[in-house]
Structure 1
Amino acid sequence: MNITPLLDRYGIVHNTKDAYIGDKVALFYEYKFGRYPYYKDYNLSIPINSGTPQNVTREELDEHITIALLNITDNIKCANSSGLGVVDFEEWRPLYDINSVKKVVYKIAAIELTKKKYPEQTNSSVINKTAIEEYDKSAKEFLLETLSNATNERNKTLWGMYGFPYCNYDAGFLKNSSLPPTLEDYRCKDTYRSFNDRMQYIFNASQALYPSIYLNASTPERNFRYVQAIMAETLRVARNYTPTPLPIYVYSKFEYDPLKKNCSFYTKEDLCSTIVLPYVMGANGIIFWSSSSNMKDRCDIVRNFTNTTLGPFVKEVLNESRVNGTLLPRYNETTILTFNETCSTYLPKIVDFIDSRCPNYTSTAKPITTQNGA
């Protein structure tokens, strides 16, 4: 089904011929980009491409770069492409300390490799410190080599990494629900800000930032605070880059769980939080992500939602941007934006908005739960 005319109608930019990886957005997943090391199913006994960046030799890193560059030239045909280039590496984190839950396998591997490399060392504190240092160093080298070579190959493409900078997944939850929200309720935790500071080398090697603002089912107000926290941290990181701040393109969805057969489209309030709020705070654009899962069954309803709801919403924001947003509040780092002044004020302007959920649809999405990364 050709959706190009529909997207064009609402000013939604898309790849030529609706290519999955194309001239406007090129997303390179870890499993199909170079020779990315990881443990399959987080199992130490199933290493792929040496399993962990610590195990990658110079020869293997060179092979990774050679193949990654072929992947780039095969998919970004034009040498002068000025589109968005996104590297999506998620199996392991750039810092030892952030490998939690299933990713703890990379901590275990780091410790075991350190013990094997320094058999004479028996002090557990020294072993742990060395493991952290060598893991972080190896991850840094792998990521920097990938980004720098990608940039050299397509030097007008805006390269960056998906999901950076990081923020805690419970951002936006009120620390004290009996009191009015404070600035802290609209910000990422200091721990995560510190992580991002330690990963500044990634941002220095990037030409754009690609944070994720995917939402799960929760209250509109909490989701609004969550997105604002991520945007605030992204702006902080972007402004550390010189001579000018890095551009920001946020990854967003329009369904809570597109992997399920039943549709679960964002409410108009959450569309506001993921489209209007990033615009108000200075994002350069939004990349809509969805899944091809069950698309045969979902295609018509996704098309209908785009035509009746998402498209008009996007078009209205684009129109607003062309007249300098005179009816919208503007982000100021010394204040916080509230849901009422941003979304409740703005939503009535969308004259053609239709809340087109699926007939007889009952949401199966569960409220978001507090966790320390994934």
Structure 2
Amino acid sequence: MLTERMIIIMEKCPSALLRLSVLVTVLPMSRLTPTRNLSLGEIGSRPFAAIWNTHSNACQANFGIDLNLTAYNIASGADNSVIFYNDHIGLYPFVKNGVFVNGGVPQLVNLSAHLEKATIDILNRVPDDHFRGLAVIDWEYWHPEWDYTRRLYKDISISLVQLRHPDWNTTRLEMVAKLEYEQAAKSLFESTIQLAKELRPDALWGFYHHPYCQFKTIAYNCSELAIQVAKKMPWLFDEVTALYPSIYLSDSKDKGAEVENPVQFVESVLDETFRCRQKSKHQSTPVFSYCRIKYEGTDLFLNLEHLRDTILLSAEMGVSGVVLWDAYNDTKTREGCIEVQSYIASALGPLVKTTTDAALECSQSICSGHGRCVGKILTCAKTAPPIEFIRNSLKRAVFTGLLLSALPHHDCACQCYHGWRGNDCSIAV
């Protein structure tokens, strides 16, 4: 039953129940696009933030082991981020071990019941009305676009149509199944994110892993299929208030081409993310790279080179921050906690602190403290000429805070926060 508070919320938030078709203004893609002020009070008031998105308190609570995250500028805790897995928000449908959960496919979900439960889930998981942290929805069993989803969900969808129309041929069955599947999937994703934004409007809402990349070694870029699928989903990039691409590395050469070419992989993922952002209604949507501290499918921590290729490169490309994630198993035992603590102290922590400090120094010395540096942040802040020289010497710029190519020996550009403009972000709007 709907509570009185939920009824009031639904009455105030009718948009959460609408299925919208959004017209998108297409603009030229550029990696160096201005980003809005993220108001990162809860996750570190820095131009580049690092957020610990695993069970940070488990080691301290269970074994008295302090991971000492704050010493390395790593934010943690429920005040900074919350993640909603399959069963954490609404009635997300999926098939697991042959069991159809919540109907199994989006066509069989009761959307009203889903939104009713999602309301309860969001209010319970995020009790603060003014929560300003990261809010990530992690739905991975199926993709909302037919061409990218798993065969299992296609077969189920076709069977549902065939039950109603046993005399139809295969082509017609699949055509209708695709239409019904994509409409239902879009409605589920879209209505969920709209409701979430109405309930907690200050949070940075987004779906984990979107956009997908499917990196290809030969071409050193995302697959054409992944790019075309993302182009068919402008509605998703219009609705989210943050993007959470995945830059996980695999240690298995036969499983992940990205580990052989980590720089190209990360650049491809983030370039595709920036492309999707640039073609959306909100070119300033913040981007947070999801980085796993271990190689996928292994118990091996990322080496220092690969930490640079993921965390530092993300900062150099101008994302708002990185989300550091690992499996819950690592904090279940004393031994696991000691290993994580040691890794943070010896490799991860110093790299993150160096990166976040450099991003802050560069922002203050080049971007007047009102913007984010894009480029070789470890060196450009130390070699930057005075701000007045920058103002007097800059000869051209593509748009606000985009290009500093007229400056000699200067490898950084500025992305101005919302409310600021100019080559060095010194002009209040």
TM-score (norm 1): 0.76
Cα 1:40–1:206 shift into 2, 3 Å? same
- Aligned residue identity for 2:96: K
Other-structure match for 2:274: 235
2:321 corresponds to 1:285:
yes
Other-structure match for 1:320: 358
Q: What is the Cα deviation at residue 243 of structure 1?
A: 4.4
Task: Give the 5 Å matches for 1:250-261.
Answer: 250-257=289-296
Q: What is the Cα deviation at residue 14 of structure 1?
A: 0.8
- Aligned residue identity for 2:113: E
Other-structure match for 1:118: 165
2:250 alignment partner, one of 205, 208, 216: 216
Cα distance in 2 for partners of 1:231, 1:77 equals 32
Runs of 4+ in 1 over 6 A off after TM superposition: none
Counterpart secondary structure, 1:78: coil
1:51 alignment partner, one of 104, 111, 121: 104
Deviations 1:258-316 (A, max 9, x none): x75xx411111100111111111111010001112153131101101101211110010
1:167 alignment partner, one of 202, 209, 213: 213
Cα distance in 1 for partners of 2:259, 2:246 equals 17
Q: What is the Cα deviation at residue 69 of structure 1?
A: 1.5
Q: What is the Cα deviation at residue 242 of structure 1?
A: 2.7
Cα 1:90–1:220 shift into 2, 3 Å? closer
Other-structure match for 1:147: 193
1:25 alignment partner, one of 81, 84, 88: 81
Aligned positions, number: 302
Cα distance in 2 for partners of 1:233, 1:243 equals 15
Other-structure match for 2:342: 304
Cα 1:32–1:55 shift into 2, 3 Å? same
Cα distance in 2 for partners of 1:197, 1:287 equals 25
1:54 and 1:135 in contact (8 A); partners too: yes
1:220 and 1:269 in contact (8 A); partners too: no
90-99 or 240-249: which moved more? Answer: 240-249
Identity over aligned pairs, percent? 28
- Aligned residue identity for 2:107: Q
1:264 alignment partner, one of 268, 278, 300: 300
Cα distance in 2 for partners of 1:220, 1:85 equals 28
**Where do 5+ consecutive residues of structure 1 fail to align?**
16-21, 176-183, 334-341, 343-374
Counterpart secondary structure, 1:107: helix
- Aligned residue identity for 1:11: N
- Aligned residue identity for 2:153: Y
1:280 and 1:328 in contact (8 A); partners too: no
1:94 and 1:136 in contact (8 A); partners too: yes
Counterpart secondary structure, 1:32: coil
2:227 corresponds to 1:193:
yes
Cα 1:107–1:321 shift into 2, 3 Å? same
1:87 alignment partner, one of 137, 142, 147: 137
Cα distance in 1 for partners of 2:344, 2:379 equals 25
2:205 and 2:242 in contact (8 A); partners too: yes
TM-score (norm 2): 0.66
Counterpart secondary structure, 2:290: strand
Cα 1:119–1:221 shift into 2, 3 Å? closer
1:163 and 1:211 in contact (8 A); partners too: yes
Which one scores higher on RCO, CA 8 angstroms, separation ≥ 6?
2
Q: What is the Cα deviation at residue 117 of structure 1?
A: 2.6
Deviations 1:34-86 (A, max 9, x none): 11111122x2xx21111111112xxx211111111211111111101111111
- Aligned residue identity for 1:32: H
Q: What is the Cα deviation at residue 190 of structure 1?
A: 2.1
**Where do 5+ consecutive residues of structure 2 fail to align?**
1-58, 363-376, 382-397, 403-410, 412-429
Cα distance in 2 for partners of 1:68, 1:125 equals 36
Counterpart secondary structure, 1:293: helix
Other-structure match for 2:414: none
1:251 and 1:289 in contact (8 A); partners too: yes
Deviations 1:71-115 (A, max 9, x none): 11111111011111110111111011112xxx3111101111111
2:260 corresponds to 1:225:
no
Cα 1:294–1:266 shift into 2, 3 Å? closer
Question: By percentage of residues, which structure has more strand?
Answer: 2
- Aligned residue identity for 2:95: Y
- Aligned residue identity for 2:104: G
- Aligned residue identity for 1:312: P
Deviations 1:160-206 (A, max 9, x none): 000000111x43x2x2xxxxxxxx42x21222111111122111110
Cα distance in 1 for partners of 2:330, 2:66 equals 21
Other-structure match for 1:361: none
1:251 and 1:286 in contact (8 A); partners too: yes
Deviations 1:210-253 (A, max 9, x none): 01100012586511211111011011111122343211011101
Counterpart secondary structure, 2:87: helix
Q: What is the Cα deviation at residue 33 of structure 1?
A: 2.0
Deviations 1:337-363 (A, max 9, x none): xxxxx9xxxxxxxxxxxxxxxxxxxxx
- Aligned residue identity for 1:31: D
2:141 corresponds to 1:107:
no
240-249 or 196-205: which moved more? Answer: 240-249
CA-based RMSD of the aligned residues comes to: 2.3
Other-structure match for 1:64: 114
Counterpart secondary structure, 2:222: coil
